[in-house]
Amino acid sequence: DIGNYENTKSELKEAIIAPLEQKGISRAYNIKPLKGIIFFGPPGTGKTMMMRALANEIHANFFYVKGTSIISSYTGESEKILSNVFSVANKNTPCVLFIDEIDSIATGRDFETDDVRRHILSQLLQELDGFQKLEHVIVVGATNTPDKLDPALLRPGR
């Protein structure tokens, strides 16, 4: 249990935990739990701790990936790494896949990005779109700079 953060805990409970706990009501009203969220705030405010607590609350595995660990200088390697991350999450459901510093791999196209990061963003969007078919996986992207994220990542349904 985490002290304070009452608003955040309430929103997570309403959006994620309640639909999972009350499946009959959720089905009756066609309420689906979120498949992914962007969690943002200044460094050191408990984003990772909150997501670990969420995973614990819903009895899910917790997979932590730092966005920068996905970046490789070898052509195509970053995309393979990202694909493997999603594959592992898929094989270990239920799980919370926590991508810390997601802005390092999903920076908006209006900002200067290199080819590697553009390819990673494309792969990430493909994985998220494919993820809609999966059950019991919640993707959480954490960032200190949500304004730098590519708008495609924030589109409803992702």
Structural domains in the chain? 35-146 (3.40.50.300)
| pLDDT attached to residue 1 | 56
Write down the pLDDT at residue 146: 94
Those residues of the chain that have pLDDT short of 70 are 1-4, 33, 112, 131-132, 134, 158
Q: Please name every residue paired with 36 in a beta bridge, in sequence order, or none if there are none.
A: 139
Record the tokens describing residue 59, joined without a space. Answer: 């009895």
Confidence at residue 30, expressed as pLDDT on a 0 to 100 scale: 82
Q: What is the pLDDT of residue 12?
A: 82
Q: Would you report the helix, strand and coil content of the chain in percent, each value rounded to 5? A: 50, 15, 35
Predicted model pTM: 0.86
Tracing tokens 């994620």 back to the chain, one arrives at: 16
DSSP states of 65-123: EEGGGG--SSTTHHHHHHHHHHHHHHHT-SEEEEEETGGGT-B-TTS---HHHHHHHHH
